Structure 1
Amino acid sequence: MSKIDHKPGADALAFLVDQHLSPTPENYTLAYMALADPGSPIGRMVEAFTSEGFRLRQSDADEIIRLHLTRSVRGAARQDRTQHDALRHQALKLGEAASSAAAATGAFARELSAEAGSFGEGETRTVEIVARMIERSQSTASDLDATASEVAALRLELETARDDAQRDQLTGLGNRRAIDRHLQRLSNKGSPRVVGLCDIDFFKSINDRYGHGVGDRVLKQVASSLSSACAPHFVGRWGGEEFLVVMESDDAAAGVALLDQARADLAKREFKLRENDQPMGQITFSGGVATATGDHADSIAAIHRADAALYRAKAEGRNRICSD
């Protein structure tokens, strides 16, 4: 029996420990494939993130996994979206048909009512037939109106479900899917993008000291502050304690100014524990800004550059904004 080589697996686990990444199946697969084939797309992306001495953050690993290790999942998701869009299209068509039929039937009933008044007394039998037709037409029109209402409710449910699929449940901001689609729309129409990546300073210590319930409330407050300060620009939750702001512009300086104002606004807020009104101290974030002018891949590259700028802001003392 040939000896089993455990070294590749051990190297992958050692890589995860070195990068401070959890040994999840996804992370392990990422590490194993990057080390086994450094020239592969996965290997090259991992090398790009770690070549200058930076650690591979979980958000970076998630992005690589999303791009290269979930094709089958994305294929299934595309099929689900196709089915969803087809269902929505059918609902729209059915709603329009029901509404049109209801209007036509109602109009027919009104015409019959008008004609019935013109029959003479000697035509009683004809009047009775027309009366029954009118009654039946009115009943059908009522049923079609009810059907149209049901279809409208279905359409609303479909739109709500689609919106929920792109919304972060904790903060109410757009999630990774919404961010990706927003950036894709901007690149498709040729608009330049300024992306700003923000990370709450010392967030782990907040969770460790006060618990995840308080941490969640801080995340929601930061999300609200960013949304208000950066309106009308797009703000989404990138993951964990990170948020992404997108400006439809090529002015990086304006992006830095926008995030710096948002940073200052947040620093002025008073955070207190709900249970005993104890002050929590100042909550701040650091940010990195970069610009994209090309296709969607350029947006992803800009996010990576913004992340590198964010690292610099952290290294320089936090509570500041840097640009690439």
Structure 2
Amino acid sequence: MRRAVAQNGEASGGDLFSRIGAFLHDQRLSPEPAHYSFAYTVLSDPAGPLAKAVAELTDDGVRLSRSDIESLGGAVREGAAEEAENTGRLVEETHAQVEDLANVMRAMHDETRDFGRDLAARAEEMRRAGPTPGMAELARITGAMLGRIAESERRLADATRETDELRAKLAEARVVARRDPLTGLPNRRAFEEAYAAKQGGRLCLALCDVDRFKRINDGFGHGVGDRVLTAIADTLRVSCDGHLVARHGGEEFVVLIEGLTVERAAELLEDARAGVATKRFRSRETDRMIGRVTVSVGLTAVGADERLEDVLARADRLLYTAKSTGRDRLCVD
């Protein structure tokens, strides 16, 4: 990152926009005006104090933390995450409304069918009783009512079927909204819900970040980068079988370990880290060896009733320590 900022002074002004986009992507910042302004200030003056401070903090690929950005005068907006949160909430609310509608439609359908049956039975009783004054007109009215009831019943049956189909699609959308499409792992929303659902018990949380992932994307393309992420996700899933592994965003994964001491959890994560390090990746397109890919891990025990934000912040600091002391290692408190 230090070298990338230094090179900005030599690039053409027309290239600034693409470099801002790359900066936002690397630092996992959404394209909010506040983020754009911060990136512009950093990249438009590569010799300035802000650019130098950013280069120092992000030396050799370390990502800026929220506190880093805020200490440098920037602001962090949760635009993309908030949008995903709102979308998921809308799916939940719509699903609940459709559930209520389906129950109402089914009840109406049952009541209409029962009323039609009762009316038909009364009409049959009157027919068997023989002709009486006004019976013909009553039979005509009853027949018309039965016809209308039959039509209403048909429409209600159609509406109930369509409501059930919509409910099934929304149920599928709820699953999709909690699944990372690239790796198949639960996403951040699913992880947050799972954490909130945990009541007591022994828990540990780990953040795992792919080391120098930007070099893979830049050197081999995002397609190769995606395959590397998928392979690492599979390794973490197998190594941490029985525990929740989720994609937290970008090249970062989060693991919620239940029922183990922090020492045992460290052994589990150390096995996962070593498993990733032993893999060798090759570009399918060029047959070039990608080289050794590693992950750094920050692991911490979860306190009783501790907020997720506080646990993540502590794990992120440990992850930063792992990155800044050589990478391909686990740091635990």
Same fold? TM cut 0.5: yes
Partner residue in 2 for 1:5: none
Partner residue in 1 for 2:316: 307
SS in 2 for 1:197: strand
- 1:194 and 2:204 correspond: yes
Q: Deviations over 1:43-89 (max 9, x none)?
A: xxxxxxx9xx9659546229988xx8548999999887776655444
Equivalences for 1:74-93 in 2 at 5 Å?
87-93=94-100
How much does 1:269 deviate? 4.7
- 1:96 and 2:108 correspond: no
Partner residue in 2 for 1:288: 298
Residues 292 and 76 (structure 1 numbering): CA distance in 2 closer, same or farther, change over 3 Å? same
- 1:275 and 2:285 correspond: yes
Partner residue in 1 for 2:20: none
Deviates more, 1:131-140 or 1:118-127: 118-127
Residues 228 and 132 (structure 1 numbering): CA distance in 2 closer, same or farther, change over 3 Å? farther
Equivalences for 1:136-147 in 2 at 5 Å?
136-147=148-159
How much does 1:224 deviate? 2.9
Partner residue in 2 for 1:44: none
Determine the C-alpha separation between the residues in 2 that align with 1:192 and 1:158: 34
- The share of aligned pairs that are identical, in percent, is 33
Determine the C-alpha separation between the residues in 2 that align with 1:82 and 1:224: 29
Q: What amino acid does structure 2 have at the position aligned with 1:215?
A: G
Residues 107 and 277 (structure 1 numbering): CA distance in 2 closer, same or farther, change over 3 Å? farther
Determine the C-alpha separation between the residues in 1 that align with 2:85 and 2:211: 37
Question: Structure 2 length normalisation: TM-score?
Answer: 0.65
> Cα RMSD over matched residues?
4.2
Any unmatched runs of 5+ in structure 2?
Answer: 1-22, 40-52
- 1:183 and 2:195 correspond: yes
Q: Deviations over 1:261-307 (max 9, x none)?
A: 3334444555333335555444332212101113443x333323323
SS in 1 for 2:298: strand
Equivalences for 1:233-272 in 2 at 5 Å?
233-249=243-259, 251-267=261-277, 269=279, 271-272=281-282
- 1:170 and 2:182 correspond: yes
Aligned length: 282
Determine the C-alpha separation between the residues in 2 that align with 1:174 and 1:308: 23
Question: Structure 1 length normalisation: TM-score?
Answer: 0.67
Q: What amino acid does structure 2 have at the position aligned with 1:144?
A: L
Q: Are 2:27 and 2:64, in contact at CA under 8 Å, matched by a contact in 1? A: no
Q: Are 1:250 and 1:292, in contact at CA under 8 Å, matched by a contact in 2? A: no
Partner residue in 2 for 1:60: 65
Q: Are 2:322 and 2:330, in contact at CA under 8 Å, matched by a contact in 1? A: yes
Any unmatched runs of 5+ in structure 1?
Answer: 1-16, 32-49
Partner residue in 2 for 1:320: 329
How much does 1:181 deviate? 3.5
SS in 2 for 1:271: strand
- 1:204 and 2:211 correspond: no
